[in-house]
Chain A
Amino acid sequence: MTDTRHLVVVGNGMVGHRLVSALRDRDEHGEWRITVLGEETRQAYDRVALSSYVDGTSEEELRLAELVDPLVDLRLGDPVVAIDRERRTVRTASGAALTYDALVLATGSVPFVPPVPGKDLPNCFVYRTLDDLDAIQAAAAAAVAKPGPGRRSAVVVGGGLLGLEAARAMRLLGLSPQVVEIAPRLMPAQVDEGGGALLRELVTGQDIAVRTGVAVSGIREERDRLVATLSDEVELDADLVVFSAGIRAQDALARSCDLPVGERGGVLVDARCRTHDENIWAIGECAALEGRTYGLVAPGYAMAEVVADRLLGGRATMTPEELDMSTKLKLLGVEVASFGDAHATTEGALEVVVNDPVAGTYSKIVVSDDAQTLLGGVLVGDASKYSTLRPLVGAKLPADPVAMIAPGGVELGADALPDSAQICSCNAVTKGTLKNAIHAEGCRTVPDLKACTKAGTTCGSCVPLLKKMLVDEGVEVSKALCEHFTYSRAELFEIIASTGIRTFTELVEKHGTGRGCDLCKPAVASILASLGNGHIHEGEQATLQDTNDHFLANMQRNGTYSVVPRIAGGEITPEGLIVIGEVARDFGLYTKITGGQRIDMFGARVEQLPAIWKRLVDAGFESGHAYGKSLRTVKSCVGSSWCRYGVQDSVGMAVLLELRYRGLRSPHKLKSGVSGCARECAEARSKDFGVIATEKGWNLYVGGNGGATPKHAQLLVQDVDQETLIRTIDRYLMFYIRTADRLQRTAPWLEGLEGGLDHLREVIVDDSLGICAELDAAMALHVENYADEWRGVLEDPKKLERFVSFVNEPGTPDPTISFVTERGQPVPAPRAGDPEPVLIGVPAFGRQEVQ
């Protein structure tokens, strides 16, 4: 082991941070002791995601992995003010002097503010750091709180990537943004004329005013506000002005110690990222690599890796040609991506453009003169192809160029790419590295790949491709239900339907292995129930049910249950309300109006359920199936019975539909809504199937979803009469029940259905597969055989037997359950070590699944 040397890093931004973590990862023998001197007072954070701060992402969430390491000394809020190259020391603002063996400059950039009069007035800001955003938020809040009429507004100087992000942030803060861009189009560096025209339209549609081809020439204060004068003499009133007109490399330190800088700024470095001083390196935005600076994080990360390697005696170099300057607008709800040679500057390059103003998409790819090699491209309006096209830059085109960008054209997967293709450009991760992570290191999920390779951890735009890669490499491709069945749910459905097998034991013995688990048993139970197999607790079926179905109630976090009687269409009589009120009062239950237009009573102990339900059933209520993967509610609006706009009886229709499909077991829960007119008060388009009244009949929308990934339902049939409507819904539901995966809602099912909505329409309207008669018969069977599950339990002493707290002490309440009073109602008493909040999708404690 050599003597420990001292590395001083100036700047604790994204690239400085990457250098330190890369060096600490590789420096196994502790050759280097590191001191980081940062000007900002905060720990390094993800500047690329800066704008999400105004969306509510916290500083903690933006923070990069903390560097807790005995060999790293992090000193924040103390910028370096001078370098003495001769003595190899740096001096900081606080007066500290440090001697270095190697010095790395990672000082990033400073925002460029055009030298216009008034630029330093209060309420003029730049957009670079969390401190900037804190100041902007405070000013915006003060502006919004000002008395007086009119919207508060912000002028954003610069219409590039950053300017558009800033403009959206202003809108989120409650201001009307006006973007002023000197070039003739928005995002001039990335987007061509055709794309720019569409981009302008899309941005304007987001309530952001755009002026191109003009510059801000001055700013003055007038009556407590600002007035920005433009080069065409237009004056814009504003409460604040944000400069996002570009950046300049922060090379002040280098200049002051006579290190050469590039013509357009930036510390000059060679391919090793070394400055003219052997002991000083420069990386990230402050570096001018062979004269050129890079305003994106990926090249900076690559430089950090090179220097980490060099400091340990490696021979890595940078090759500017390989630097990826691809960009994708992350926010704004407007998709823009540009990659490779977007402006077709390569000799002989050809441009292929597909412009669809109706759909609001513009796609261009740039190919070599022989149309064989992809050079670059621009995507506006729909950038979904970005993640597959970008890694193909420089590679042979796998398909005809037009087909690659045309709507409905070739769908490219990661399989079309060579191993050397960079899948994640932010972190320079190639397809080969990812393959290795999958096969040699056992990565099975996107989070695995992120942890193992860093791919997908920066801008996130490569994540769709990571998913595709897992599938291509045979990881997620398996539709097998679980270790006991190699079949998908749809395949099992066919097996059960065609063989007539009606017990789990027979099924698992003939078509599976072992004794099943919590994945396959409820799925099989659901299939058996969909095929009309009597009460869900009949015989062996009882053992397959999830706890909710087993006790016909939803388990809560303290082991008690909730009780939800059906209130079809949300319509309930005063007597019904009184009964629910009395039951809740008598059993001491917490009550709440649900999001599904009904009433939920919480806190029932398992042994109380039969008595509670006896009262409800006697009063004419029935199970609401809030516990089942089955129809939940059909929400309604008051419709033509009361509303002055209603054109049909939406409540009547909702009740009819809810009673028709109640109890129908399905791969996941089903929700519906019926609105009496296009004002859509029942939110039908967020439902698995939604019905909206028209003057002529009913429109049916399918595949909507709330939840974690909201989706609007799509129009399946229009202006149909009641009979057609019901027939179409019958078939839609039965087709879904047969073919969906376990726990797949209708929205992802429809999305994954080959041929999509058109195919669905062919199958259930035009009967292209000839299965409609079967689907109709299956639904008829369901409607005919429906019986209230709770009544079924109350009438059968054998089924009632299980509703006890303890086999040996049936009436004794579970001693671990207790309540406290909150806002006048009982809620579970906190327990020692109460569960940490459950995050969806984070494997905090092994496997978990949301019900």
Chain B
Amino acid sequence: MTTTDERPAAETLDTDLRWETACPLERLQPERGVAALFGDEQVAIFRTHDGSLHALGNVDPRSGAAVLSRGIVGDRGGEPIVASPVYKEAYSLVDGRCLDAPGVSVPVHPVRLRDGLVQIGLR
């Protein structure tokens, strides 16, 4: 996660990361996701109301459809979430865990903003 004022909240030290550009920041409407493709990896990218950026794996574990980016963004008890558009389970934007099914989760990717571009860290 990072904030839009270019001061990363928790810039990762993982040097193995490969940073890829997804899109300019304006392309992200607050509280609506987009999908990006890097090789065969699909990432769902979100910008929340307070300006934070988040990136999760795009595949909904329940249906297998690559659609998490098309879910509704909101919060559960203050934790930012996206609701899968297929069967509506909520996934935490912070750690990718499913709030409605214990043990289920989606991958989380580091995100950063460089020169107005949203970049995703891939392993």
Binding site for B on A (CB under 8 A): 483-484, 505, 514-518, 520-522, 542-547, 550-551, 555, 557-559, 606, 801-802, 805-809, 812, 814-817, 831-835, 838, 845-849
Contact = CB atoms under 8 A, between A and B. Distances in A.
B46 to A, nearest CB: 11
Given A555-B67, A845-B101, A517 B90 contact: yes
Contacts of B20: 808
B65 A483 contact: no
Nearest to B65: A559
A483 B78 CA distance: 10
A801 B42 CA distance: 19
Q: How many B residues touch the partner, as a band?
A: 35 or more
A833 to B, nearest CB: 7
B88 A805 contact: no
A846 B70 contact: no
Contacts of A514: 74-75, 77-78
B65 A557 contact: yes
Interface of B: 20-23, 27, 29-32, 34-38, 40, 42, 45, 48-49, 59, 62-67, 70-78, 80-81, 83, 85-90, 98-101
Nearest to A560: B65
A365 B51 CA distance: 66
18 contacts: A515-B31, A516-B72, A516-B74, A517-B76, A518-B72, A521-B72, A543-B29, A543-B72, A555-B86, A557-B86, A802-B34, A805-B37, A806-B42, A808-B20, A814-B35, A815-B37, A845-B100, A846-B101
A321 to B, nearest CB: 48
Contacts of A812: 37
Report the 8 A-B pairs with minimum CB-CB distance, sorted nearest first: A846-B100, A559-B65, A547-B85, A518-B83, A517-B74, A807-B23, A518-B72, A806-B37
Nearest to B40: A815
Contact of A515 (B27, B38, B75): B75
Contact of A847 (B37, B71, B78, B89): B89
Nearest to A832: B64
A816 B31 contact: no
B87 to A, nearest CB: 5
Given A522-B72, A835-B63, A846-B98, A807 B78 contact: no
Given A516-B74, A559-B65, A559-B66, 8 more contacts: A518-B71, A543-B30, A543-B32, A555-B67, A808-B20, A808-B36, A835-B64, A838-B87
A719 to B, nearest CB: 45
A551 B31 contact: no
A847 B102 CA distance: 12
A807 B72 contact: no
Contacts of A815: 37, 40
Contact of A807 (B22, B87, B98): B22
A817 B67 CA distance: 11
Given A517-B74, A831-B64, A835-B63, A848 B31 contact: no
Contacts of B80: 515
A515 to B, nearest CB: 5
B22 A505 contact: no
A826 to B, nearest CB: 16
Given A557-B63, A845-B101, A518 B49 contact: no
Contacts of A518: 71-72, 74, 83, 88, 90
A547 B87 CA distance: 11
Given A543-B32, A808-B21, A555 B72 contact: no
B22 A543 contact: no
Contacts of B70: 547, 550-551, 555, 606
Nearest to B80: A515
B29 A542 contact: yes
B37 A809 contact: yes
B63 A516 contact: no
Most buried by A among B22, B38, B49, B80: B49
A845 B73 CA distance: 20
Nearest to B87: A848
Contact of B74 (A521, A550, A805, A807): A521
B88 A515 contact: no
B20 to A, nearest CB: 8
Contact of B66 (A515, A814, A848): A814
Given A515-B75, A515-B80, A816-B59, A807 B34 contact: yes
B63 A807 contact: no
Nearest to B48: A515
B64 A834 contact: yes
Contacts of A520: 74
B87 A845 contact: yes
Contacts of A845: 62, 87, 89, 100-101
Most buried by B among A517, A559, A833: A559
Most buried by B among A517, A606, A808: A808
A835 B62 contact: yes
Contacts of B76: 483, 517
Contacts of A550: 32, 70
B32 A542 contact: yes
Contacts of B85: 546-547, 555
Contacts of A838: 87
Contacts of B81: 517
Contacts of A521: 72, 74
A517 B75 contact: yes
Given A809-B37, A815-B40, A847 B100 contact: yes
Contacts of A516: 72, 74-75
Contacts of A816: 42, 59, 64-66
Nearest to A517: B74
Contacts of A559: 63, 65-67
Contacts of B99: 846
Contacts of B83: 517-518
Nearest to A851: B88
Contacts of B49: 505, 515
Contacts of B77: 483, 514
Contacts of B48: 515
Contacts of A801: 27
B71 A547 contact: yes
A777 to B, nearest CB: 32
A848 B67 contact: no
A423 B72 CA distance: 41
A846 B89 contact: yes
A557 B70 CA distance: 14
Contact of B72 (A484, A517, A551, A809): A517
A544 B34 CA distance: 15
A807 B40 CA distance: 15
B111 to A, nearest CB: 13
A488 B31 CA distance: 23
A608 to B, nearest CB: 15
Contact of A805 (B21, B29, B35, B62): B35
B43 to A, nearest CB: 9
Nearest to A539: B29
A130 B70 CA distance: 49
Contacts of B101: 845-846
Contacts of A814: 35, 42, 66
Nearest to B102: A846
Contacts of A846: 89, 98-101
Contacts of B100: 845-847
Given A543-B32, A808-B37, A849 B88 contact: yes
A542 B33 CA distance: 11
Given A515-B31, A518-B71, A518-B74, A807 B59 contact: no
A543 B31 contact: yes
A817 B29 CA distance: 26
Contacts of A808: 20-23, 36-38
A683 to B, nearest CB: 30
Contacts of A832: 64
A809 B63 CA distance: 24
